[in-house]
A and B are shown apart, each in its own frame.
Chain A
């Protein structure tokens, strides 16, 4: 999510492919270095409710996750 623009596709690829994964890892790091938060929309296996999972490293991304959403870090308003 980019202020003034909304949703912007940063990178996409298949993490099972080495080149794609390297590109995804690089973009993930770049976003976090720029001070963004990363979240993965998930569905709770217990009750089927949707929620989000904050991820701090690429390895935290659950297997099979379709997307990671980056958004600006929260600050007191």
Chain B
């Protein structure tokens, strides 16, 4: 009788082990999920997170773009990028014609481009004609996080500028075709852009001296 009870007790103990283990593992999973949620909440509440992300993004931008472009972004808050499309440009000029129109004694790099872009953080890219200051179009483009669409977080400002800069300098045609094109004024006030072009001219003048080739507009 005692032996039978002992065997039954052992059997019951063996049978309860998996249940206890499952329970313990569920508790562990719940605890880990809770601590993850807590960490996420802490991250969301961390007021320095965005600032640190932006600081890192600025360093990355600085290490990638040209010195002039970095100074422009630091001083003015946007970057000018020359349009590089050949016949696909606004007035259909080829690189050869562009070179012919360049001033004597200046390299193609110094010459006024037929069109250029202003890259703003989290705003459309604005195309304009540097010679006349005429605004051509706005290219609305963004870099959404497809993997975490629910969080709807966005790139830090400087990363957004860098992404546009990389996409424009590497494959202008592709970026422009991916973007939604609108007439100027759809999202950015044209007066603001004209003011920025004036600031850019002044900035160029101060940086290069009064005899410098004007590349930001009239």
Contacts and interface: CB of A to CB of B under 8 A. Distances in A.
Binding partners A and B:
yes
A71 B64 contact: no
Interface stretch (B21-29, B30-38, B95-103, B150-158): B150-158
Contact of B141 (A51, A53, A69, A76): A76
A1 B109 contact: no
Contacts of B179: 74, 76-77
A77 B142 contact: yes
Interface string B45-64: 00001001110110110011
Contacts, number: 117
Contacts of A3: 143-145, 148, 151, 153-155
B163 interface: yes
A6 B43 CA distance: 14
B166 A49 contact: no
Nearest to B66: A50
Contacts of B85: none
Nearest to A72: B143
Contact of A74 (B107, B163, B165): B163
B42 to A, nearest CB: 14
B132 interface: no
A77 B154 contact: no
A19 interface: no
A1 B159 contact: yes
Contacts of B5: none
Contacts of B59: 7
Contact of A71 (B140, B148, B159): B159
B156 A6 contact: yes
A72 B57 contact: no
Interface residues of A, number: 27
Interface in B155-175: 155-156, 159, 162-163, 165-167, 169-171, 174-175
A50 B64 contact: yes
A39 B170 contact: yes
Interface in A34-72: 34-35, 37, 39, 41, 47, 49-54, 69, 71-72
B65 interface: yes
Interface string B118-147: 000000100000000000000011111111
B124 A52 contact: no
Nearest to B178: A74
A16 interface: no
Given A41-B63, A52-B169, A73 B143 contact: yes
Interface of B: 49, 52-54, 56-57, 59-60, 63-66, 107-109, 124, 140-148, 151, 153-156, 159, 162-163, 165-167, 169-171, 174-175, 178-180
Considering the complex of A and B, which 7 residue pairs feature the smallest CB-CB distances, nearest first? Answer: A4-B153, A6-B53, A76-B180, A52-B166, A77-B140, A77-B142, A3-B145
